[in-house]
Each structure stands twice: as structure tokens, then as C-alpha cells.
Structure 1
């Protein structure tokens, strides 16, 4: 028992360590030097003084790196190889008590003479080994070409240096005196296909860091579209022309979240189940078999790491595809989540045993259960254990079913049960129009039982011998059903949980979060009394791979209309007083964030006709209505005239007699 407790503690500490990993990167730092660029180039004394000052600051930064080197740990648990120079430099540096490094400028190595010249001016004598010693202060300088910090060049605004820093190091460097600016070194575009800005996406999503999967982005068959669809808002070809088949997701990607799968089988001999050098768990934990009973697999059982299955299975591949969809390296939504197969026969008593095993081993508020199977007939025992798991902080996702029926009744297993999040599916998109991804599928169940919809067709490395496409020696195939829409949503839930570790997610909170984040009213063909919600992972802006933006708002790269307003359906409309200008009314959904202006909806009066274009008390409104429809919309200026210019619609506009800019 003690050994098990110790092992558990090691796992917890390891997971904590992995979760706290830094995102190491290069940063450009501008130092305050109070110099003119020309003075630096033309006056040797100024140059020497500045180079000494910059070198001292680089030494300060290097000290911070040494003191915080543990924060450079990579995702695989190894130290960043760029820190290897510390082993050689630091040992030499510490030969003497008063020692500094002389950081050589790789572009302009003459800076190494600056300190020597500066010291000579103060009666210094040259020492050996290309270093100098200050006679009074006993300081030794060791020349180095460092990959961690180095000078770059003087600027009109100061002096630029570069540092390779972890998140923690850069926070401390920013607190040093004489730091003017600090910006991450960002990649430049070298071809027209670089259309996304990771910093912009990070700002939009509030993710700690953004990761991008754009495999097959140049293949026009919508491969991996089950992922790209959930990381953007509704695609409109009129707004962005080309579909962005890229999956954007947070770097945490479900890390330290457990996803359990009740499936007949699950086999892991695919690159999809990469554990990233042991930083996540992919295991078959137990087998609940009708013929052989329940067996928890020991740690030395090879089935635990290779995969397992029940003896009376109907399918040998379903569970493998389902678990790939939730957490596969390429096909999955939560690429770093822990994946646990509980191989379970298709009977409720074996399912009940599997759910009890999960209840005993689940970590509250860090555990998800995926059940991509169904049937008919109410099982109160299953409902009760669902409720118990939910009460204990376990979140259960179930497939809505593929019968194309209303699943409101608890006779539908398990879409009609309580305390579960039930997922419906949209139509196929591979080799088809991407708009099918927003269309209610011909097989999915529907009704009040469905909480949310997701793409039903998935693309994966072939596990059954058939394939559609071969790439780099790997065959790929596709399948469809609510069985796959469900783990996709479960994986997105895992990414939400890993991004917000401070929040204790349970069934109610996760359901609310997914609903709040979902895209509303974009699905077509839904039966009555079925929710119109499409899952989204938090990244909503639609980007154009060919940088063509004809609309506005999140459906068009968050572009703003240069003239007029951004309508509810993300179209730019120039306000000209015609009936179409009603789209510029706030009450009609005008999006002020992306508009030159929106029109106030405070006006309640209308006119049949106007005399001499006058408006106001005694005259009437600039909103003309000659029948049941509004014919035109205008603004009533402060001096009582109808028009559509800024003089009419802006300051002083009389909102009770016409439209006005909403900013008034």
C-alpha cells in the first residue's frame, strides 16, 4: 500500500511538473542608452561606454537565466538543449570571485575591444586569455559567443539585445532597470499562405499559447475538417472565399485530464497514441467481459500498453477510432489528454462494472467518460451510477444515437438519460461541400435530449485495411456517426479543463460552458424542439488562406467595415437611407465593433410623408412607412432636417424622430 501511495505521489508530482512547463522563446529587448545612433557610430568613446553598459546588462540577464534554469524544461521532461552552454561557461566563469562575461556581437565582433579600450582609459592592463583585469576592482572578463543572450545593434531609441528566455525568466528580466521594450521575436511571412497570426489568436481566445495543425491544408478534400470546423465560426465563401482547414487549439491540449472510454476494444500501435516520452498515459486499464468476467490489467501486462478487447466483440476498430478522435496526436481534439480504455462487452451488467471501476479510480474534476454506444430500454442502475459519477465531479459524454429518431425518452440508451451531455451529429464534409458540416445529418437522433452538435464524420489512419488516401506511408480512411461526434466534444471539454486548471469543472458547469461557447443558430435542417448549437473550442474568427476578406466581424477575419455598418450576417452595408439600411440598426443586429457606425433603435415614431424634408416636433419622423413595411430610414438632425450624413446622424441627432449613430 505504501509503495502504491508513493507511486501515486510521483505521478502527481510529475504531472504537476509537466503542467508547469515554460514556453521558451527568443525575445528582443531594447535597453535605454540615451544615445543617438550617429553618436555611437562616430564617437569611439561613446561606443565604448555603450558597449560596456550593454555588456553589464547582458550579464544581469545571464545571472537570471542561471538562477532559473529549471524553468526551461521541455514538454518531454528534458532540459532545453540550449542551456548546455551553462555547463562550460559557468564553470569557467566561477574560477574567480569577481568575473563577468564579455558577450561577443556575432554581427560586429569589434565590441570585444570596447571594454578593453574603456578599461585602458582607466589605467587597466591587459591580461591573458583575451580577458582584462581592472587593477582596482579585480574584475575578469571572459569572452563568449552565447546562444542565450547577445548584443545586436544600436537603435535611435536605444540598444537591441536578444535573450532566449522561459516565461519565468522573461518576467524577471522585464523588472530590471533600463529596460525600454520587450517583445517576442516573431516569424515573418515568406509566402502568401501564411495567413494566421498566433498572437492575435491568443488574444482572441485567451489561451496560454496557441498550437496549429495544418496537415493536408493544401489538399482540397477537407481532410481533418472535423477538427477545423470546431475552431472557427461559420464559414461563408462570400466573406473569405477559401475554407481554412486548419485546427487551432491551446498548447495544453487536455494535459493532465483523464478520458475513459467504454468500448469493446482499443489498440495503440499507431502514432496517434504517442505518449510524448511518457508525458501522458495511454492504457487499457481493465476488461469487463461477458465470458471472462472483470479483470483489472496489471502494470506488467502487455495488453495495458498495447491495447485490449473483449472476447465477444462486434467491432475490433470502433474503440480505437473513438479514442483517436478524442485524443489522437493528429486526429484528436485533446492531443495530450490521458486515454484509458475500459474494454466492455455490449451488456449493461458489464457496463455497470466498468462504470464502478471508473468511480473508484476517477480524479474529481479531472475525469471525462465517453460512451459511444446506444440501444433501447431504461436501466435504472446505470442512471443511478451516472448520477453518482456526476455528483463526484466526473463528466459523462454520450452519443445521441444514429436511428434518426426523437431520443427524448429515457428508453434511449444513453442519449435520453440524465446527468450526461448528449451529442448529435452533422453531415459529412470529406470530398464534399464544407457547408454540409453545418447541416443536420440524415442519421443523427434529435429532440430535447441533444445538448450540442458536432461533426459526425472523422478522418483517421486506417485501422481496418481500407483507405481513401495515402500520405507519407500512412493510409487514411473515414467513418461517421454520433459515435465520433461525441469523443470530439469530449476532447474539446478536456482542452477547456486543461486551460483552466483553477476551475473545478463538473457536469453542470461543463455543460453550461460548452453551451455558452457554442455557435448558435448556424445549423440547417434541424427538426422541431432540437437545440441549434454547434460545438466550438474558443477560437471563433474565420481566416482566409488566400487573405481575401469581403465581409466583416468574426466570420471575415474580424475585419471592420471602412464605410457604413457590419450587419448581423457579417456583410458591410453602406448607409444611404434606403430600406436596406435597416441592417445598420442596433435592433437588427448591427455589430458596432466592426462598423463605422450603427444606428440607434430608440426611435419609435414613423411618418407617412414628410413636408420639405423637415422632422421633429410638429413635422414627424425620418423613418418612412407607407405600408406594413418600412420604406426608408433617415436621421433627424438637431435643426430638424432628414438626411444620412454625419451632420444629420451624429451629434445632436434627434433619436425620437429618426435613426442616430449609436455612439451618440
Structure 2
């Protein structure tokens, strides 16, 4: 009996111990789960950004999915992304920024019922790829990457600006020679033109003392007529007199883009500037198609305003180092030897009344806006073989980084797609003085794409020449320091002599530019210009331009940078397209044409094996310049909008001045009829 009682007690104790252990294990397991969950929540890094979500939409060449099925797939994915965002708002460092993104997108939500979410929406689609745009925390982005059909989730990338900051019968005969040389249907002349224009229509000027530089800009009278130049940039103001001929062409702000959305424009003459007083888009448009400073004065200009988000922290607080505006005038250097600046100091450059503005390196917008804008133009505005796109910005991307590679591939494929429709793309090389293509490293786009004509810059102002003269002067000064035969007074006299000679040579170079005369020493690659095998062609890197500021004042400046080389090339392309309507140009055909008529191997400073082509519009003959200050427009007007090489055309020269009646001039200098075939025979 005692043994039985003992066994019962032991059984009870055993059961109690087992239950206690199990209870502890359950409690411990629950605790571990709670700790794990807390740890997981604590590791949700609170960083966020705008994202482009690349999606396989199920489309294929075989048409296995209908359009409706594709929309259902995309909308379902948008719903999932929206749910993820809502459920994980605590992972955002700044939830108010997410709320702002949702608020700004609400208008698009109301206007487009296909996309039901204001937190995620499509911005572009090409074949089997669709891009959904959203504002994601890093935690949500990681979740989105794992969703079905998501190819990649890439942070939006910033775009960077790349500006650096005779008698009448003789003229008639000259223009007939131009017609014979170029085979243009008509020729117009802008006398006393800016250097960046006069250089386009003549061969290399060698400075021969028997001839003076021809300051005329000769161009086909069609001047880009009926060609659309799309300028993707920071903002526009087309109220300036440079765009006064709206009666014969279309000049307007087409639309704006922000956060990948298309924003309608209320005033076609004025698009909101990305930065309060940053006039990059205005300047670029003037060079492409302004009446005085532009290459193609009859081309249609469509401004596409690429804007950044509304958040204050998306704007730079100040200009980065080296991009401040240069002052208009400089004080004279001190004459005392011990106060003379070191060789590292910048020498002054006086451009008199003309302001000089160096380029800016801060960003202007995001690549999502470019992709959305391309899609909109492609769907609504593109006319085959009538469109030239100008991109005066660079996007640094690395093809070895997976997210960058998806952006590169999509951007390239969309440009290829539009180029196959007859669009021509021109982009600047950038102003970093760097090699553009870098295997396995950062490179610059869209300049690097095959179907984009990449424009580098030539130092037509003479910055490099001035620097060489400065270096020569410093070498002479250093030699003086080693001379024991001179005392301090003699050294100071010598330094004054060297300085005087330097200033004279510097002033001569500056005066040549102000007087619109090319210095033969300046056919060089600009020091700031990026370079390499993908830089297809070079154009002037210093330009004179005008624009209207936010206060309504008309400003004249000298601009520098490949941002201006690009619209020069785009403008020449537009004049070629208007002059040759029967040629179905795309980017590659246009590049081949530009290379054929361009000036080969005249630019110093380009590495052997890299393209060495200076832009030209087809006229290579060099005439002795007209030094008269009076400006005369000489227009060879054609009798029809297009020219058929098999049809005969009447040719006459029209000279327009304040003192000459145009009708009288026509009567005086009308020439015999001739056909293009006859010119070929000649």
C-alpha cells in the first residue's frame, strides 16, 4: 500500500514537471516569435525614393495576351503595390512626402480611370515591358521586387544640365555659287552672324592674310520648315522676339512632366521654370531655332518642361563648386611683383557688355519624366521623318549595376523604337572633361546610345589658346626668378612687359570673338567637353544667345557647354530634313549624312581613332568676308515648299534692306530659270 501511494505521488510530480516544461517551451517560443517580429520591424530601414518598377506585362510578338488581359495584370499589380504601401507606411522616414505624392497624383487618378491608385501608376509601356511609377520605402521596394511579373525595381535617376554656363551683283553671283555647291533649293544669308553660325557654312578658315573671315551664315531657305524640334529641358519662355515668327511656324510649350505624369500647360508661351532663375531651356531653344542666334529659324519648336517634385529638399541649396556665374567685368591685376597671382588663379576674361555664364552641374529633373514624355510624344505628336529630339542633359549610369542596366535597356529600346519611326535624336556629350564610354564604369546617357547623335564641343572662343599664352607668361616669370643678373626693379619691369603682352594677346582673342571672327587656332576640342568613340560629331561650344527672364527683361549672354553644341547639331539636322523631304531620315541615316558633309580631321585634341568631324550644313566654300556693319538679309526663295530633282525651279535672289524696295530688287536681279539636273551637269 505504501509502495502504491509512493508511485502515485511520483506520477503526479512527473506530470507537473512535464506540463511546466511544456508551458515554458510554449511561452519561450511565443516570446521568441515576438522578439523576431520586433527585430524584423526594427530592421525596416526608413529610407525612401521615387521608383520605376519594370514589369513583364505578358505581351509578346505572338499575341498570347490580349490588351485587356495586359491591363488586368498591370492593374492587379498596382493594387498589390498600393496595399503594400498602405500596410507599411511606418517604414517611411517622411510619411508626409508619401501623402504629398498621393495628393499630387489624385488629379491623374480622376482623369484616368484605368489606373485606380494614386500611389502607383503606369508612365510608359513598350512591347512586353511596362513601367509603374511609385514612391517606395526601401522595405516596400524589397517586397515589390518579389511580386509576380516584376522584372526590376529601380530608383529614379536625375538628369544634369550640360551648359557651361560686296555689291548686290557680287552677292547674287556668290549665292548662285552656293546653290551650285550645295544643291539647296534656295539659299538665305544672315550677315554678321554669330561665330557659332558662320562656322557651320564654310570650310576651315586658315587666317590667310589675303582673305578676311566670312561672317555670313548661309543656310537653305527652307530653314527647318515643317520639321518638329522637341526640346526636353527645364522650362521655356517663347515671348522673346527670337520667336516672333509664330505666324509661319508652331512655337509652344507642349506639356510638362512631373513624377512621371503629363501636366497640361495653361500658357503655351511660358512653361514653369524648374529653378527660379535657371534659363537653360530658353537658351537651348534659342540656339536651335531663334531668329537671330538659332540654326533653324523656321522649324517648329515644342518645349517639353521636365520638372522636379515639389519637395524643397529636392532642390539644390546652392550652386555646386565651380558653377557660379562669372562676373561681367574684372578688376585689373596688381602691377607689383609680390602681389602677382599664382599660376593656379584664374585670369580675367572681359566680354564687355556681354554677360558670360558658365554651365551648371546640378540636376534638372528625373529620367522617369523623360520616359513618360517620350511615350506621350510617341502616342500623340510624333510625325514620321519630321521629328528631331534635343537632349541637352546627361544621365550618369553604370551598366554593371543591375538596376541601372534595366533603365539603360528600356531607355535605349524606346529611342530605338521611335528612331525606327523616323525620329532623329541628338544629345550633348557632357562637360566633365571625361571619357564618355567607360567599360564597367559610370557612363553618360543618352549620348552613349547607338541611335543618338552625340555632340561634343569645339573651343571657338579660344579658352585653351588663352590658357597656353598664360602658361607661357608664367614660364617666363619663373625663368626670371632664376636669373641672378636682374635686380628686383628690373624683374618687375620684365613682368610688366610680359603681362602687357599677355593682355594684348588675350584682348585680341576676346575681341575677335566679340567681332564674330574665328581665330584659326581655335579649331580644338573644348577643354570641358567629354570625349571618346561615341562622341559622333563636334559643334561650337560657345554661343551668343538671348532670352527673357522672369522679370520680363531681355538678356544677352555668352553660353558655353555641350548643351549648346547639341541644339546646333539638331538645328542643322532640321534644315537638312526640310531640304530633303524625300529622304526618310532616322538617327543613323542623319549621322551618316552629317559625316558625309562634315569637315573631317580639322579639330585638334581628339584622340586618334575617335570621330573627328566638325559640323557643316553642306557649304564648304570660303568667301572673303563682308566687313560692312549694315545687316542685309539675302534670301533665295524657292517657288514651292519641296523640291523635286526632276522638276525645274525658278530661282531668284531677294535682298531685303530698309532702303530697298523688295519688288524693285526682284525686277533687278531675277535670273534665268534652271533645273537641278542642269546644275548637276555644270
Give the TM-score of the pair, scaled to structure 2. Answer: 0.47
Whose RCO is larger (CA < 8 A, sep 6+)? 2
> Larger helix proportion, structure 1 or 2?
2
